[in-house]
Amino acid sequence: MADVTITREDVAINASNVTFVRVQVGEAVQQGQPLYRSSANSRHYKASATTATLAQCVGIAMTPSATDGFALMLKAGDFIVGGTVSQGLTYVVSATSGRIAPSADLASTNFVTNLGIAISSTVIRLDIAASAIALP
């Protein structure tokens, strides 16, 4: 498998069980990208499974934003991912910055951050668990 190919315009909430927050970003972000919060400046950046810090995802961008702008970020709940996912699979922060991948795609030394489980072919139930543990 590969990273989920996301059509940004198709990313949306799917139910009323969602939690949002407005965040300032430190780089340009698009809808559907996992974000982590920098302890250095409290801004949000695209998450990646390549280091423990970058893998500490706190939500998914639901609106685009330019560098130093503000975005709406989903913290929990069902969202239409904007691409095709496999029902029942767990999805994680990818090793590619700002991308979502099936958990089986992580490689040795990648840090595991579960984003949630696909509950249909288009919806992920976001329930973030950042482990800070690298695969052996």
From first to last of its 136 residues, the chain has per-residue pLDDT tens of: 699 999 999 999 988 889 999 999 999 999 999 999 999 999 999 999 999 999 999 999 999 999 999 999 999 999 999 999 999 999 999 999 999 999 999 999 999 999 999 999 999 999 999 999 999 9
| CATH 2.40.300 matches 8-134 | yes
Number of H helices, E strands in the chain: 0, 10
What 3-state DSSP class applies to 8?
helix
